Structure 1
Amino acid sequence: MNSGGLVMLAEPARLERDIRKSLFLARAAPVATPAEALAFVRAVSDPEATHNCWAYRIGQAYRSDDDGEPGGTAGRPILQVIDGQGFDMTVVVVTRWFGGIKLGAGGLVRAYGGTAAECLRLAPRVPIVRRTRLAFHCGFGDLALVRARLPLLDAVVEEEAFDSEGARLVIAVPEDDAAQVTARIADLTRGQSVPRAEE
């Protein structure tokens, strides 16, 4: 993984390459779950193509598939490219239409890995901000003010449950800003609401 923090695709990307008469088409997309990654693989795989090889990385979850190419020559190199360029929450499918010239194991690794690498290298990317969840109760008197300030604190409301005195909120904030957000909400509510980290 790269040392500058993880990134994800800002939008789906694609790249075509002609390698010794075989056409290689890489398609990559941002995904949030393994099920979403597999749905993308199914959606873009061409049944008429010779091979649809793929890999995804979503946090600790990852998978790759050689789709009939010799073991370790396609899916694994694609996964290594995803990891090597510091991508997370990313799926890449490289489809090959065989052109009659065999590439050999080394050639396949270079073709699949290289096509995936170029596709990701040229794709627009955004940094992944790790978030932590904070929970607190906010009285009705402070709720409108706190809700208005949350976007300025880069806080996203994930849960909101009302009771007779106000609302219990669970917000997701950038990990590095958790202490600052906690202090700001305490200030806004004159100490009545103090967010606590939620497991």
Structure 2
Amino acid sequence: MPFSLATPAHHELIVKKSRFIACVEPVSGRDQAQARVAQLKAEHPDARHVCWALLAGGQSAANDDGEPGGTAGRPMLEVLRHQDMQGVLATVVRYFGGVKLGAGGLVRAYTDAVAQALLTAQKIPLVKQSRLACSVPYALEGMVRRELEMAHAELLGVEHGSLVTLQFALPETATVELVRRLGERGQGQLAWVEAPEA
């Protein structure tokens, strides 16, 4: 099961006088990740590198920011993959301490910094959601709303026309039971309609 993070988590590592300041945090995608990296560069103008890795579906990326190729961003990305993270940005700000670490030392430092930050992070499971929509006569709107509330479904929208159309999302695992209950309680007056894409 994939996980995201409830809040950002940090860890600082010193390796041969170099400071590695790691942060793992939830992000919605590449735009938010790049804005955060730009913010870190502004906050740490004397840092030699601000390396980052993003695991967010089709928007995943890794950036070594001047470190030798494959020694920072990719190892950080692998830590996120190994921990089954999704929608998470890992950043490491490095202040160079004057001693070169070599490729192996860099990989270890960046990997350890991110892994240690994840150890203190509060992980939250990502539950796959189903989006559904149904139309009912006005007299049944209250019943549908109560059923949605009991199923912990999120009401996304309601349209009042000749019928009431309700759009909602809920955990995929609860979908079959809710559809069954609404079908029974709707007594043939509830119609399923195509839910608009998110």
Distance in 2 (CA, whole Å) between partners of 1:151 and 1:48 is: 52
Residue of structure 1 equivalent to 2:17:
21
1:123 Cα deviation after fit? 0.5
1:38-72 residue CA offsets vs partner (Å, 9 max, x unmatched): 22222233232110000111123201100000000
1:170 Cα deviation after fit? 1.9
Q: 2:148 aligns with which of 147, 150, 157?
A: 150
Distance in 2 (CA, whole Å) between partners of 1:93 and 1:130 is: 27
Say if 2:135 and 2:193, in contact at 8 Å, map to a contact too: no
1:127 Cα deviation after fit? 0.5
1:60-104 residue CA offsets vs partner (Å, 9 max, x unmatched): 320110000000000001100010001001001110000111100
Distance in 1 (CA, whole Å) between partners of 2:125 and 2:66 is: 34
Residue of structure 2 equivalent to 1:178:
175
Distance in 2 (CA, whole Å) between partners of 1:101 and 1:125 is: 35
Equivalent position amino acid for 1:27 in 2: C
Closer/same/farther in 2, CA of residues 165 and 196 from structure 1, 3 Å limit: closer
Q: 1:9 aligns with which of 5, 8, 33?
A: 5
1:197 Cα deviation after fit? 6.5
Distance in 2 (CA, whole Å) between partners of 1:174 and 1:110 is: 38
* 1:169 and 2:166 aligned: yes
1:162 Cα deviation after fit? 2.1
1:14-48 residue CA offsets vs partner (Å, 9 max, x unmatched): 11111111111111111122212222222233232
SS at match of 1:88: coil
Distance in 1 (CA, whole Å) between partners of 2:149 and 2:20 is: 43
Say if 1:140 and 1:165, in contact at 8 Å, map to a contact too: yes
* 1:38 and 2:34 aligned: yes
Worse-matched range after superposition: 53-62 or 82-91: 53-62
Distance in 1 (CA, whole Å) between partners of 2:188 and 2:73 is: 54
Residue of structure 1 equivalent to 2:157:
159
Distance in 1 (CA, whole Å) between partners of 2:46 and 2:137 is: 61
Structure 2 gap segments, 5+ residues each: none
Residue of structure 2 equivalent to 1:118:
116
Distance in 2 (CA, whole Å) between partners of 1:102 and 1:127 is: 39
Residue of structure 2 equivalent to 1:190:
187
Distance in 2 (CA, whole Å) between partners of 1:75 and 1:62 is: 11
SS at match of 2:11: strand
Give the number of aligned pairs: 194
Distance in 1 (CA, whole Å) between partners of 2:36 and 2:181 is: 41
Distance in 2 (CA, whole Å) between partners of 1:146 and 1:31 is: 33
Distance in 2 (CA, whole Å) between partners of 1:163 and 1:115 is: 56
Say if 1:11 and 1:124, in contact at 8 Å, map to a contact too: yes
1:194 Cα deviation after fit? 4.5
Query: What percentage of aligned pairs have identical amino acids?
Result: 38
Closer/same/farther in 2, CA of residues 136 and 156 from structure 1, 3 Å limit: same
Q: Where do 4+ consecutive residues of structure 1 move more than 3 Å?
A: 194-199
Question: TM-score by structure 2 length?
Answer: 0.91
1:196 Cα deviation after fit? 5.7
Structure 1 gap segments, 5+ residues each: none
SS at match of 1:91: strand
